[in-house]
Every structure is written in C-alpha cells, then in structure tokens.
Chains A and B, each alone.
Chain A
Amino acid sequence: MSCEHIPSQVSLYLYGELAPAETEALEEHIDECVSCAALIEEERRFFAAMNTRVSAEVSHSLLAECRHDLMREVYRSEPETVSAWGRVGAWFSAGRGGGLPWQPALIAASLIAVFFVGRATNGGAANEFAWHEKPPAGTTIGATTIPFQPEMGFSGIESIARDPQNNRVEIIVEEVHRRTISGPSSDPEIHSLLLSSVRNAANSGVRLDSLDVLRGQAENQDVRRTLLGSMLGDNNPGVRLKALDALRPHMADPEVRNALVEVLRRDSNPGMRVYAIDMLAVQPDRGLAGVLQELVETENNEYVRLQSRRVLQDLNASVDRF
C-alpha cells in the first residue's frame, strides 16, 4: 500500500469499516511511514473532538408524552372494535373468576347494532362513531336520541324499516325518560346503577364519581368484580387508578393479586405498573419474585424496572437468577 491510498482510508479504518486485508495492509504501512501515522493521529484527535458532543437525553416525561400522543392518534384513526372490555371478559373467562357479572358479548352485539344504524343514516359519516374512550353515549336518529344502554339489548328497538330509494331508515324506539333517583348508597337500585355506571358510562368523570361512592364497599363480591374489571379494562388511566386504590384493602384475595399481576404485565401506564408493584410488595407471596424478575427483563420504563429491582432486593431475591 502506498501513501496516496491512506487519506481515503483513515476514517474507515478508525470506524472499523475496512476489510481485514485492508486493515492489515494499512497497519503495516503506518508502522513504517511516519507521515501516514501522523494522519491517523490527527484523525483520532478529530474523532475525540467530535465525541465531546453530549448526546441528547430522552427524559421519561418526553417519552411518555410522545407515546401517549401517538397511541391517542392510533386509537383515533379507527373505531376500536375489540375493546379493552373484551380483554377483561377474556381475563375473567380464563378460569380466574368464573361467570361474568356483565356481558361483553351483549355489549358487542349492541355496538354492532348502533354502528349499523349510524352508518345507514349518516351516509358514510362513520367517524361519528369512532369513539375514543368508551362506546358512544348514544346515537341520534332524526330528532331522537337513543341512549347507549347495552343492557337493554334489542328490547328498546321495536322495529326497523329501510327505504332503499333514499337510504333512509325508520326505527321505532321505546322512549327513555330522564329521572332522578336518590337514596342511600346501600339502596339496591342505586347500588346496581352505580355498578352499571362504572361499567358502561361513556363519561370517564361519571365513572370516577361512581367509583368514589363504591370504593368502601369492595367487600361485596359484585363491587369487587366491578372494580377488578375497571382496573383491568377501563381505557382511562385515572379511572383504572381509582379502582386499583379501592382494591387496596383486599390484597388477601387471590383474584385481586392475580389482577394486579395482570396490571403489571399489560397496563400501558407506567404509573399503574408502579402502584401495582407497591401493592403486591406489601404482602409478598411466593410468585412475586418470579413476576418481578420477568419485569426486570421485559419492562421498558426505567423507573418501573428500578422499582422492581428495589422490591426484589427487599425480597432478597437475585435479580439475575433466571
């Protein structure tokens, strides 16, 4: 190799991008040639100078905001046909709880009906039904609004007729009147409305308020199931967090513990995952170390990983045992 070839190879050499034979030839040359060795030294100094640049740091908050904005757009870009509540149904029916307190299949069936009506009457304005958080509160046909009431199933609709000429649909619906119900929270009707509201209310504020009333009643099986469902399936992290908090006094219930592990594995909100770790760590059981070790391996959020390690250390379990 002669001196004239060296300048074009210096940086590639330092980057390790030369073929082995070229590297060998270059190194042989600079062992003999002082001026080419000086070129290498000069390039090294240039590299060192460039390396003083401080790489930008990705803060947790920035990353979390980016992720949040992105997923909001993703969910917004199309109607969510398999809702989070479907997942809850799957979770319960996977032998953990047995028997559903509510009926995702029925909810889905009603959604399809409402969606179909919407498409037929709005002439393709389907995005009106691209719900963001929860299923739509209702759909408007002409001047009449049908409240979204999954539990009423099809019984609220008496008949449907379509005019193929202008693509208009006529639906006869049982009228639903607004009324106020008041009484002690133990009143059976109020109790069941609160449960229904946690599961079905379109407005997350209403769901939060319902949880507030129910939070002290989690010794009741129906309430606890509803809280579990809300913690696992509600699309609003604030609501999920409130449900998680209401379950705090019931950590002895294996179903609550299992659900918290599920939160650790699946909840998209790092805050929820951290709370789940905290709650599980108060009364650690034998399975916890394994779950946390899995988390140390797979968790993307540094803070959650840190918390997992911290609890693992408290448990005297080796982080790298598996």
Chain B
Amino acid sequence: MAARPRADPISEKALIQAAQQQDHDAFEHLVRLYDRSVLRVALNILRSEEDARDAYQEAFLRAYKSLKNFRFQCSFHTWLYRIATNVCLDSLRRKSVRKDQWAARETSDDTPGPLDLASDGRAASNPDQALARNEMAGRIGDALDLLTPKERTVFEFKHYEGLRLRLIGEMLSISEEATKNCLFRAHRKLREALKDLPR
C-alpha cells in the first residue's frame, strides 16, 4: 500500500461524493484506484490467495456500506486502508486459531504457498540457487508466522510497504509509540527465529 496510486484530489472527492449517492460506477472507479495495493498486501500478509480474495471482498464491501459515513476528516486512502487492515487482522486472528488447531498437520504440510511458487519461477535457471532461495523464503515465512497478527501487520507495513509509523498507528487505531513497540517486538522475534540464517 506504500506506492499510493496517484489520485487527483478534486476528482477523488467528486468520485467519493458520487459513490455516496449510490453511483456504482463512481464506486468502482474508487475501488480501481486502490484495490491492487490492497490485494497485494492481503496476499503478502495472509499468504493464501483464497484468504486474500475474501479479505478483498470483505474490505471493499464494508467500505461500500459505510461510505455514507465518510466525512472527509481523514484522507480516503487512510480510511479505506484502515478498513482493509482490520479485515486482514481479523483474518489473521481466525487463521492463528485454525493454525493452533491444525498445528500437528501443518508441520508436515509442504504444499508451496504463493510466495514459494513465485520464487520458484524466478530462479529456475539455477536449481541450487532456487533451492536456497526457496528455503530462505520458507524460513522467513515461518518466522513471520511467529508474530502476533498486530506485529505481523505492523512489520509488513513498515518493512515491506515502507509506510510511516504514524500512518500505521492511524490505520490500526493505536498510538505511534505503541506502533513502535509493536515493531520492536516483531524485530526481536524475527531476529531470534532467523539468527542462524546464512548471510
């Protein structure tokens, strides 16, 4: 969500106002301004296409339903990403419950996720490198799984999306200080989990 799509503020405001009057075309236009980055972050955080699709759908439907309450007090993208973030957090929480339930099964589950597949394709020319990269991706994925949903989200937004801590806090409805602490905890856990990683 870092690379924010360019949206002319005047036309964006007009689009929002039209969408608030039930103009579906205007709403679709708004969706198209932001949905690629929302979907990418959902894919990265949830690491499952199915979950990311559900999150996309739920986030934008929630946005659609509460659009009439949007009062232009913050920027539209912050408002929208706050909704999307909460949806991803909820999904992560449900997922961590599921994971606890299926922990035994998951440890032996070697089905590649979308990230593994992506790295596969890129390094196919060099099998050794591909293997190493796959292992690395797997290790990083496992380490990220150790984080709480909130730590996971803060880390994703800070490290991979490059958002400012203040904005991340705004999206999660927590203070900047709390966001910073969350990021510290994430770093500590990740470094601990990855301390023997080849460098």
Contact = CB atoms under 8 A, between A and B. Distances in A.
Interface stretch (A71-79, A250-258, A279-287): A71-79
B22 A46 contact: no
A17 B164 contact: yes
Contacts of A48: 199
B191 A55 contact: no
B199 to A, nearest CB: 5
The prevalent SS among residues of B at the interface is: helix
Contacts of A78: 22
A15 B163 CA distance: 10
Interface residues of B, number: 49
Contact of B53 (A47, A62, A77): A62
A70 B118 contact: no
A73 B199 CA distance: 48
The binding surface of chain A is classed by DSSP as helix
B180 A266 contact: no
Contacts of A63: 35-36, 39
B70 interface: no
B119 interface: yes
B35 A8 contact: no
Nearest to A78: B22
Contacts of A58: 36, 39-40, 43
B61 A49 contact: no
Contacts of A17: 164-165, 180
B105 interface: no
A220 interface: no
A12 B180 contact: yes
Nearest to B45: A56
Interface residues of A, number: 37
Interface stretch (B77-85, B91-99, B133-141): B133-141
B57 A54 contact: no
Interface string B165-192: 1000000000000001001100100110
Contact of A300 (B22, B32, B65, B159): B32
A283 to B, nearest CB: 29
Given A58-B39, A69-B57, A15 B158 contact: yes
B15 interface: no
Interface in A41-85: 45-50, 52-58, 62-63, 65-67, 69-71, 73-75, 77-78, 80-82
A298 to B, nearest CB: 9
B60 A70 contact: yes
A11 B31 CA distance: 34
A11 B182 CA distance: 13
A50 B40 contact: no
A290 B199 CA distance: 52
Contacts of A80: 24
Contacts of A47: 159
Contacts of A56: 40, 43-44, 47, 52, 114-115, 118
A54 B119 contact: yes
A53 B137 contact: yes
B24 A55 contact: no
Contacts of B32: 67, 300
Contact of B56 (A70, A74, A266, A300): A70
The 9 closest A-B pairs by CB, nearest first: A56-B43, A300-B32, A54-B118, A66-B56, A54-B119, A53-B140, A58-B40, A45-B199, A56-B44
6 contacts: A48-B199, A53-B115, A54-B122, A58-B40, A63-B36, A70-B61
